[in-house]
Amino acid sequence: MPIDVKLDDILHDRRMTLTELADRVGLTLANLSILKTGKAKAIRFSTLEAICRELDCQPGDLLGYASEANEPAE
């Protein structure tokens, strides 16, 4: 997938668990886990805003783009 989700790295840097973030932003742990693992097909701007607010980061800190040419074959 060309969109790279860096949520795990930011959580580690902030010394915060996924459970703690889920509680702070009002999302289920399952939904945040889907986002963290890169399996999400979409994200609402309101969700992105809440995550950025709690992690004190920008959307670009959470999401990156890797061209498919650089992706390993599946």
Structure tokens at 45: 């701007």
Record the pTM.
0.84
Domains of the chain with CATH codes:
3-70 (1.10.260.40)
pLDDT at 74 over 90: no
Non-local (6+) Cβ contacts of 31 within 8 A are 22
Burial of 60 (0-12, 13-18, 19+ CB in 10 A): exposed
The Cα–Cα gap between 23 and 66 comes to 30
Give residue-wise pLDDT tens across range 31-66. Answer: 999 999 989 999 999 999 999 999 999 999 999 998
